[in-house]
């Protein structure tokens, strides 16, 4: 079936903020939510193609949605900067109104063993992966209460799981990444319990291994693991499903993509080109 925007879809009139939407998983989520009729605020640092060494930009994400007849707006935001985090939600309100859906997807990741982890990079990872989603999530709650419902979705990782013996690959330096993701999984379930009565859902989902500019840069995807890779459309579909569900029905969950898709009998859907 051809991928189209349905302006009267299940998310018509709802405002979705997606972080890390200049490329990879975030760009796919932005497209999928727009296909369901959401007004999407696509946010990241790269506004125009060529500003970053990796492919992808907010202008391209927004153009892809608008050319298909959807609603999207780009907000340049460095999540490491408190003033940019504040400005992201301010600009969202000015453009479309308060966020009904927040997808905390952006990440910057460095791999070093704990003993060699550069302080500056550690701080940056914690700002972007922990502090920013914490702050944005807290800041969208009042608007969601006013609207009577809301969805906060965190894109986690299998790296949040504890390493098992025998310790294969333990020297690859993923401890800080796993620690940040584990912190946010606990944050998601805790926040879900705090805002349950307000009809706001908070969920975390792990994508498995997805081919994106980020995983290509880190040499994580190759022909040998192609069979184990998750299509980016699956993550987009899972987020669409959560965002269109009744908040009290799906909340406080931490799932990996495979079991989630299976449980709810979801199939990846083609995205607008």
Footprint of ligand NAP on this chain (CB under 6 A)?
19-20, 22-26, 44-46, 52, 77-80, 105-108, 128, 155, 157, 207, 209-210, 212-215
Of 96, 110, 154, 177, the active-site residue reads 177
Give the CB-nearest residue to ligand NAP: 214
Minimum distance of ligand NAP from residue 246's CB (angstroms): 25
121 versus 149: smaller Cβ distance to ligand NAP: 121
Told to judge if 177 belongs to the known catalytic residues of this protein, a careful annotator would answer yes
* Comparison of 77 and 144: residue with beta carbon closer to ligand NAP: 77
Residue 43 tokens read as 């946010």
Q: Do 76 and 45 touch, CB atoms closer than 8 A? A: yes
Residue 108 C-beta-side C-alpha neighbours within 13 Å: 17
Q: How far is the CB of 196 from ligand NAP (least distance, A)?
A: 24
Nearer to ligand NAP, 100 or 127 (CB): 127
Minimum CB distance to ligand NAP, residue 130 (Å) = 11
CB atoms within 10 A of CB 170: 12
Between 111 and 196, name the residue whose CB sits nearer to ligand NAP.
Answer: 111
By beta-carbon proximity to ligand NAP, the closer residue of 19 and 203 is 19
Whole-number minimum distance, CB 100 to ligand NAP, in Å?
Answer: 21
Terminal alpha carbon distance of the chain = 13
Q: From the CB of 120, what's the least distance to ligand NAP, in Å?
A: 13
Q: Which residues are catalytic?
A: 177
């Amino acid at each position: 079936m051809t991928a189209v925007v349905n302006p009267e879809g299940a998310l018509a009139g709802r405002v979705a903020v997606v972080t890390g939407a200049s490329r990879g998983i975030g760009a796919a989520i932005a497209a999928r939510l727009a296909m369901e009729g959401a007004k999407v605020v696509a946010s990241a640092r790269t506004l125009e193609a060529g500003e970053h060494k990796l492919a992808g930009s907010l202008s391209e994400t927004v153009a892809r949605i608008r050319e298909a007849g959807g609603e999207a707006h780009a907000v340049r935001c460095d999540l490491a900067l408190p003033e940019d985090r504040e400005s992201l939600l301010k600009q969202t309100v000015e453009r479309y109104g308060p966020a009904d859906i927040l997808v905390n997807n952006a990440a910057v990741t460095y791999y070093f063993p704990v003993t060699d982890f550069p302080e500056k990079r550690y701080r940056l990872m914690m700002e972007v992966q922990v502090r920013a989603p914490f702050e944005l999530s807290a800041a969208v709650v009042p608007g969601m209460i006013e609207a009577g419902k809301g969805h906060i979705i965190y894109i986690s990782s299998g790296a949040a799981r504890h390493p098992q013996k025998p310790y294969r690959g333990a020297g690859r330096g993923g401890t800080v990444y796993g620690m940040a993701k584990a912190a946010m999984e606990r944050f998601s379930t805790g926040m879900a319990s705090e805002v349950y009565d307000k009809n706001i859902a908070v969920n975390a989902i792990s994508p498995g291994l997805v081919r994106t500019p980020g995983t290509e840069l880190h040499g994580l995807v190759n022909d040998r693991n192609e069979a184990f890779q998750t299509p980016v459309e699956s993550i987009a579909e899972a987020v669409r499903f959560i965002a269109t569900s009744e908040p009290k029905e799906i909340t406080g969950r931490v799932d990996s993509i495979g079991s989630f898709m299976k449980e709810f009998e979801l199939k990846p859907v083609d995205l607008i080109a």
